[in-house]
Structure 1
């Protein structure tokens, strides 16, 4: 998921440089949403941790 966020971030940067404002804005919004989702899932898995087998 983090790789998708980085991919959309790169697409947003390239589109912004080339002047495609709508595409850049959309790609940046998707990248931000995926990164926030990644952080939430990472923190959830970090808090719950790995349970030892019984």
Structure 2
């Protein structure tokens, strides 16, 4: 997911340099949304891992 966010960020930067404002804006928005989703999933996973802890070996 983070890879997709970085990809869209790179596309947005290249489009902005080349003067494609609409494509750059849309790509930047998608990159922001994907980054926020990535952060939320990371935090949820970290909390679940912290709450569950390590299981003893069987």
TM-score strictly above 0.5: yes
Q: RMSD value over aligned CA atoms?
A: 1.5
Runs of 4+, deviation exceeding 4 Å: none
Query: What are the ranges of 5 or more consecutive residues in structure 1 without an aligned counterpart?
Result: none
Whether 1:6 aligns to 2:2 is no
TM (normalized to structure 1)?
A: 0.92
Could you tell me how far 1:22 is from its partner in structure 2? 0.3
TM (normalized to structure 2)?
A: 0.86
CA radius of gyration, larger in: 2
1:13-34 superposed Cα distances (whole Å, 9 cap, x missing partner): 0000000000000000000000
